[in-house]
Amino acid sequence: MHVSRRGLLIGGAAAGGLAVAWLLRPRDWPLPLDPGRNELAFGAWLKVAIDGVVTVAVPQLEMGQGITTLIPQVVAHEMGADWRQIAVEPAPVSAHYANTELAARWSEMWMPFLPSLAGEADDVLTRRWAEGARFMATADGTSLAAFEQPAREAAAGARAMLAMAAAERWDVPWEECRAENGFIVHENQRLSFGALAPGAASFDPPDPAPLLPVAPGEGAEEPAEGAPLRFPRVDLPSKVDGSFQFAGDVRLPGMVYAAIRHGPAGRARLAGFEASRAAGTRGLLKLVKGTDWLAAVATSWWAADQALARIAPEFTVSNAADSAEIEEALEKALRFGPAEWSHERGDPGAVLADEFDVAERYFAAPALHATLETASAAARFEDGRLELWIATQAPERARAAAAGALGIGVRDVVLYPMPAGGSYDRRLEHDHAIEVALIAREAGRPVQLTWSRWQEHVRGWPRTPVSAVMAARTTASGDVTGWKARLAMPATAREFGHRLFDGATASAAIADSAGKGDALAMEGAIPPYAIEHMAIEHVPATISLPTSRLRGNAHGYTAFFTETFVDELAHRAAREPLSYRMALLSDDLRLAECLQRVAGLANWGGGVDNSGQGIACHRIGEGRIAAVATARRDQSGVRVDSISAVADIGRIVNRDIARQQIEGGIVFGLGLALGCSTTWERGIPATGRLAALNLPVLADCPRIDVAFVGSGAAPADPGELGVAIAAPALANALFSATGLRFRRLPLLSEEL
């Protein structure tokens, strides 16, 4: 068993008095915001300028999900600010922005010995670790859960301080003042935030913060046609006119450009290269070699890439990824391997000991991220200090990785957070941060590294492949009395955690996680249905292909397995798929309402043969979704005509962004359902271009109708619900249209 220094220290400390001292020691973190000219900082979350502009710090990566609008909207609501005077800046790395929600969810990754001690966001151990590690990671839809409350409290404190400054001028109680559209108002008197800011900064905010009685939010009902948005997205104007800056847009004085070639998937090593082959390449400046990569630095990226193409570096690789061997390893684990993680309900042993009435095999192939923006970062290394311009979902881990590669302290790494052109969890990895740091040191001048699309496929680790058996015992009428799901795959989340938190290499991470159960890899495998007896099992399998996180994560395959299998049970019992599910949902009335509503929205016809309609439902945390897809086969493949979805995401903070997220998730899920995969041979992926991944283009996108159920529940993230529901809804629609069951992802891959 591998024992990391991190796990040993934390695990040992948690058992003794050292932990108590560590937990109780008071801590004071420096305020991270640096006010500009004519600005004043109000805590860690916002600044107010004398012209009235309120600048909100956003500690999460903007990667298309609209977080640079949601958090400012929360602040504007609570502060009483004018939305037209709201500005945004990426927050610097700081303990003030620790994501305790994600730290609790990922406690098994950073606290492997005693994860239960840090299983809740408000646990003292969770908060202390997240603050000490400056854990600002953006993932798993935790942004609102982690940051809405502190943003509201900061805004409420600032509102009170502004009211105190106004009350002092007017000689009235500050509690009688109110904030409206960027002004503090008392009867007929009013002063702008900007005019009050200098005086307000001298007051202390009240404790506790005087929060408004109503949290920010919008109703589930659609606004009147043509009605203006209350909170239009902050980032859209600059994205439309092209001024929005991504990591690949960074330009520094004297900057040069780097391209790279990575070794095959497996334990690869750079074996050798003939530099003379690149002689005469105009603009080539330097070659930089790593353990398993070779980079070229030139005056243009094209020159650097052409130099590498001419050199054609050679790699040695052992345990190379091979798709045939991967499927064989999964099959062996599924049939003979012991389960290392399980969930049970009732008495599954007694009910499922005999032969199942129904048992079917399912498979999900590795899925690629297929981001529009490939890995890109710029770096400048001078006088022992590294500056890094990079899009990253885990900024402090990227800083630490770059510092470790250069042998300098983390304090000597300045990270400038850049937005990502789509991430889908790809930017949780920080390979390119290490590479660009090393290249910048060797180049002796600022450098920008950009991976080609081919290199994204070679080194961008995919979502794990999964082999599964779904089985059930049913009554004569088709009611489910017992349910079993057995999934074989690597301990993919643990593997990722070793890379992220321990700095392990890809091959070391595979070895460290081998044979371990993984609850995060099984998320969504427990169905929402009221089934009395149930057994859910993870059988860990060791494969040669490194795997990683991807939008939707485990829900992307568990929803497919569960909802297509439920559909099979309904048709086998000659029962209508909607009513069959409704009968099983006595424990989840919110999900049942989503099903009922989507049936009306889509004009559900019962999913009868040749209708081309398929229905599915799923839940992720506190979020629920149900969808009806209408699809058909034609000469060009699969044509999805429409998808209707109804979601319950609790209190809706911004309805327009929520709809965008579900629509975008559905389109992304269609890509996963119909393509977005490849095979590997000797560690090399067979697909090197986006065009070969069968991704939906604009002409392929169906009509998408999205509606929401009003709910008093806490806000749930909508971003992954659409991803999870797309594949099962489409698979069930294809069965209705063709009479054929597709049990592999991508769909239709059985026929290839």
pLDDT value at 148 more than 60: yes
The percent of residues above 70 in pLDDT, for the chain, comes to 95
**In whole angstroms, what separates CA 44 from the centre of its chain?**
25
Beta bridge partners of 534: 345, 483
pLDDT value at 373 more than 80: yes
Q: DSSP secondary-structure letter at 638?
A: E
Contact 522, 536 (CB under 8 A): yes
Half-sphere exposure in the Cβ direction for 681 (13 Å, CA) = 2
- Determine the pLDDT at residue 112: 86
The two tokens of residue 495 are 């593997």
The two tokens of residue 9 are 């220290």
CATH match of 5-200 with 3.40.50.10890: no
Angle between helices 555-572 and 721-738 (to 10 degrees): 30
CA distance 599 to 64: 30
Q: How large is the average pLDDT for residues 111-119?
A: 87
Is 5-200's fold the same as 247-318+375-450's?
yes
Which one-letter amino acid corresponds to residue 463? R
If one counts every other C-beta atom within 10 angstroms of the C-beta of residue 353, the result is 10
- Determine the pLDDT at residue 18: 47
Contact 387, 379 (CB under 8 A): yes
Q: How large is the average pLDDT for residues 726-738?
A: 96
Residue closest to 387 by CA, chosen among 397, 375, 399, 374: 399
The two tokens of residue 310 are 């001419």
Residue closest to 730 by CA, chosen among 752, 704, 708, 699: 704
Bridge-based pairing state of the strands 293-298 and 256-262? antiparallel
- Determine the pLDDT at residue 409: 97
Give the tens place of pLDDT for each residue, 654-681: 999 999 999 999 999 999 999 999 999 9
- Determine the pLDDT at residue 10: 44
Give the tens place of pLDDT for each residue, 26-65: 567 888 999 999 999 999 999 999 999 999 999 999 999 9
Residue closest to 127 by CA, chosen among 155, 152, 146: 146
The two tokens of residue 231 are 């909170």
Give the tens place of pLDDT for each residue, 301-312: 999 999 999 999
Answer left, alpha or beta for residue 254, where phi above 0 means left and psi between -120 and 50 means alpha.
Answer: left
The two tokens of residue 209 are 């913060």
- Determine the pLDDT at residue 22: 46
CA distance 578 to 23: 51
Measured CA distances, 523 to 343, 382, 572, 619 (Å) = 11, 45, 27, 10
The percent of residues above 90 in pLDDT, for the chain, comes to 88
- Determine the pLDDT at residue 19: 47
Measured CA distances, 397 to 492, 518, 584, 677 (Å) = 19, 22, 44, 28
Contact 50, 198 (CB under 8 A): yes
The two tokens of residue 443 are 């180049």
CA distance 527 to 624: 12
Which one-letter amino acid corresponds to residue 714? A
CATH match of 247-318+375-450 with 3.30.365.10: yes
If one counts every other C-beta atom within 10 angstroms of the C-beta of residue 289, the result is 15
CA distance 484 to 651: 34
Q: How large is the average pLDDT for residues 730-751?
A: 91
Give the tens place of pLDDT for each residue, 674-731: 999 999 999 999 998 999 999 998 888 999 999 999 998 999 999 999 999 999 999 9
- Determine the pLDDT at residue 599: 97
CA distance 331 to 325: 10
Question: Structure pTM?
Answer: 0.94
Pick the CATH number of 337-367+463-751 from 3.40.190.10, 3.30.365.10, 3.40.50.300, 1.10.3720.10: 3.30.365.10
- Determine the pLDDT at residue 647: 98
Q: How confident is the model at residue 634 (pLDDT cuts 50, 70, 90)?
A: confident
Give the tens place of pLDDT for each residue, 380-412: 999 999 999 999 999 999 999 999 999 999 999
In terms of pLDDT, which residue wins out, 607 or 299?
Answer: 299
Contact 551, 424 (CB under 8 A): yes
Dihedral angle at the C-alpha atoms of 662, 136, 714, 720, nearest 10 degrees?
A: 20
91 backbone dihedrals φ, ψ, rounded to 5°: -75, 140
If one counts every other C-beta atom within 10 angstroms of the C-beta of residue 330, the result is 24
Q: What is the DSSP string of 239-300?
A: HHHT----GGG---TT-EEEEEEEPPSSEEEEEE--GGGGTT-TTEEEEEE-SSEEEEEESS
Q: How confident is the model at residue 6 (pLDDT cuts 50, 70, 90)?
A: very low
CA distance 675 to 668: 10
- Determine the pLDDT at residue 355: 75
Q: What is the DSSP string of 342-386?
A: EEEES-HHHHHSS--SEEEEEEE--B----SSPPEEEEEEETTEE
Bridge-based pairing state of the strands 183-186 and 178-180? antiparallel
Q: How large is the average pLDDT for residues 147-173?
A: 98
Residue closest to 705 by CA, chosen among 648, 662, 752, 657: 662
- The three-state secondary structure class of 56 is strand
Which one-letter amino acid corresponds to residue 701? C
Give the tens place of pLDDT for each residue, 523-564: 999 999 999 999 999 999 999 999 999 999 999 999 999 999
Q: Domain segments of the chain: what residues?
A: 5-200, 247-318+375-450, 337-367+463-751
Answer left, alpha or beta for residue 98, where phi above 0 means left and psi between -120 and 50 means alpha.
Answer: beta
The secondary structure of 122-153, three-state, reads: CCHHHHHHHHHCCCCCCCCCCHHHHHHHHHHH
- Determine the pLDDT at residue 24: 52
Give the tens place of pLDDT for each residue, 11-25: 444 444 444 454 555
CA distance 95 to 97: 5
pLDDT value at 432 more than 70: yes
> Is the peptide bond between 746 and the residue preceding it cis, with omega within 30 degrees of 0?
yes
Give the tens place of pLDDT for each residue, 351-366: 776 678 899 999 999 9
pLDDT value at 623 more than 70: yes
- Determine the pLDDT at residue 8: 41
Q: DSSP secondary-structure letter at 552?
A: T
CA distance 138 to 142: 7
CA distance 703 to 628: 12
- Determine the pLDDT at residue 12: 44
Query: Over the chain, what is the mean pLDDT?
Result: 93
Give the tens place of pLDDT for each residue, 204-249: 999 999 999 999 999 998 888 888 888 999 999 998 999 999 999 9
pLDDT value at 636 more than 90: no
What is the length of the chain? 752
